[in-house]
Structure 1
Amino acid sequence: MYTKDQLKQQLVDMGLKPSDTVLIHSSMKAIGEVENRADGVLDVLIDYFKEGLLIFPTHTWEQMGERKLLFDPKTEPSCVGILPNLFLKREGVSRSLHPTHSVAAIGENREKYLKDDTHGTPCHRYGCFGKLYDYKTKLLFIGVGMDKNTFLHSVEEWMDVPDRLTDRPVRFKVKLPNGAQHHAATYRHLKGGISDKYVKMTEPFLEAGCMTTARFGAADCYVGDAVKMADLAVQYLERDLHLFDDFSPVPVSWYKDEQSNE
């Protein structure tokens, strides 16, 4: 069983700082046995990043749709795992108002970061996922890979990659803290497993120094730099806008050349 002190030391070993802005994609199962289980993991993360901004995706795209149009950020569970759902219940945590791709955050700057997250696409440049670039965020993938990297959806939106969004928006409503309802029409991601193709960026990101490997509990992890990851992905999409349409690997010469030219 991993103790809280051991988990904190692993965060130190990753090179993460308490003042960092960090977004975490996670698999509690991969972390393994931990003191006080999932709540113990959150205790560690919240305490460690108390000088910064800690963010979890709290997506609801799985259940929100034509049959469920009212999103209540106070009560709607997330479809992306136990840690985000427990995080939502923690004191001091606030949630954004995006009906399908909300995030939750804790930290001094959380309200500024979370505001204006009701733009009409899942991962708008000026929504919470686009802001990861502006906040120079560290992306921590605990026991999961690049197929969970929602930030790459955002990069594809910036680049206007075709055939990613539905032809028409869904007209959602969002329940506000005062009980009023806010109209929030947003386009949806097309089905087809586009994010599954993001795994092809694993080796290029590692080779180009955009991310490193680490351990948290028993989980294999990636620690990424949002700015470096986005800049490299943009370079690749400028070469081939359809890069993520299939599983064909990124040409080795692209990232080997990038590395050798530094």
Structure 2
Amino acid sequence: MITKSSLIKDLENLGIDSNGTLLVHSSMKSIGNVDGGADTVLNALSEYMNNGLLVFPTHTWSYINHDGAVFDVRQSPSCVGILSELFRKRPGVHRSLHPTHSVAALGRDAEDFVSGDERFQTPCARGSAWGRLIDRHAAILLIGVDQSRNTFIHGAEEWAGIPDRLSDRPMELYTLNREGTRIRVPVYGHTTPAWDHYPKVDDILKARGIMHMGRFGQAETRLCAAPKTAELIGDLLRQSPELFSNDKPLT
């Protein structure tokens, strides 16, 4: 049986900075049979990161994706896994107001970290929480999922100005904030499924020491350093803007 103590030990073995910023993409099923289930997993992560900042994506792009759609920061469920959905509801957690690519954060500077994302008309703008991961020298932990689920790489493509990644016109979306105020937030949505090809950078991330593999419960994990990941992928995209348009191996 996997316990909170064993999961905390796994985080220690991964070498995660407990005083830093950690973004988690996750598959609960991959972790295995945990005593206490998903709540134990969240307790372990929250306890380990007690002196830092713990972040989960709480995306809603799967259904907030048409003109007139309304994102309610208090009620709209996350479409990226049970851990993210349960996390956003926990006491002390702050959720950003971006209608399609919100994040939720707990810990040091959480409210400041998530603030202002509704000002941006793209999913992962450099000034949003996704870009702030660079500024905070964050780590990105992929629990039981591969790079195709790493939203941060969407950001790297945005920041590099790769064409044909976003819709030609913005969707007319709205956010209801915590006070119930309705905010217009036009968003250019992702169009090309480039994410299917993101796993091709695994080997080079490992070879450069930017990512290392480990375990969390029974799940295979990938731990990536956000600033160096952004720098490397930015360099690769400048050399080959079509990098993620196919599965052609890197040379």
TM-score interval, smaller chain:
over 0.9
1:50 alignment partner AA: N
**Aligned counterparts, 1:110-121, within 5 A:** 110-118=110-118, 119-121=120-122
Offset, 1:131 = 1.1
1:81 alignment partner AA: G
For 2:68 and 2:151, the matched residues in 1 are separated by 22
- For 1:203, the equivalent position in structure 2 comes to 203
Q: Helix, strand or coil for the counterpart of 2:23?
A: strand
**Aligned counterparts, 1:73-84, within 5 A:** 73-84=73-84
Offset, 1:244 = 0.7
For 1:58 and 1:107, the matched residues in 2 are separated by 16
- For 2:46, the equivalent position in structure 1 comes to 46
* 1:99-121, Cα deviation, whole Å (9 max, x unpaired): 00000000120111111112000
- For 1:138, the equivalent position in structure 2 comes to 139
For 1:212 and 1:220, the matched residues in 2 are separated by 11
- For 2:99, the equivalent position in structure 1 comes to 99
For structure 2, list consecutive stretches of 5 or more residues without a partner in the other structure.
none
For 2:174 and 2:146, the matched residues in 1 are separated by 32
1:153 alignment partner AA: H
* Cα RMSD after superposing both structures: 0.9
The answer to whether the aligner puts 1:182 opposite 2:183 as a matched pair is yes
- For 1:218, the equivalent position in structure 2 comes to 218
Offset, 1:178 = 1.7
Select between 65-74 and 32-41 the one with higher mean Cα deviation.
65-74
Offset, 1:35 = 1.4
The answer to whether the aligner puts 1:150 opposite 2:151 as a matched pair is yes
For 1:124 and 1:67, the matched residues in 2 are separated by 21
Select between 152-161 and 61-70 the one with higher mean Cα deviation.
61-70
For 1:64 and 1:146, the matched residues in 2 are separated by 23
2:73 alignment partner AA: P
Offset, 1:128 = 1.0
1:138 alignment partner AA: A
Select between 208-217 and 107-116 the one with higher mean Cα deviation.
107-116
- For 1:260, the equivalent position in structure 2 comes to none
Q: Helix, strand or coil for the counterpart of 1:184?
A: strand
2:48 alignment partner AA: Y
For 2:32 and 2:145, the matched residues in 1 are separated by 13
Q: How does the TM-score come out when normalised to structure 2?
A: 0.98
Q: Helix, strand or coil for the counterpart of 2:142?
A: strand
For 1:18 and 1:98, the matched residues in 2 are separated by 27
Q: Which aligned runs of 4 or more in structure 1 are off by greater than 4 angstroms?
A: none
For 2:141 and 2:90, the matched residues in 1 are separated by 20
Q: How does the TM-score come out when normalised to structure 1?
A: 0.94
- For 1:125, the equivalent position in structure 2 comes to 126
Change in Cα spacing, 1:176 to 1:41, as seen in structure 2 (3 Å) is same
For 2:206 and 2:115, the matched residues in 1 are separated by 32
Q: Helix, strand or coil for the counterpart of 2:117?
A: coil
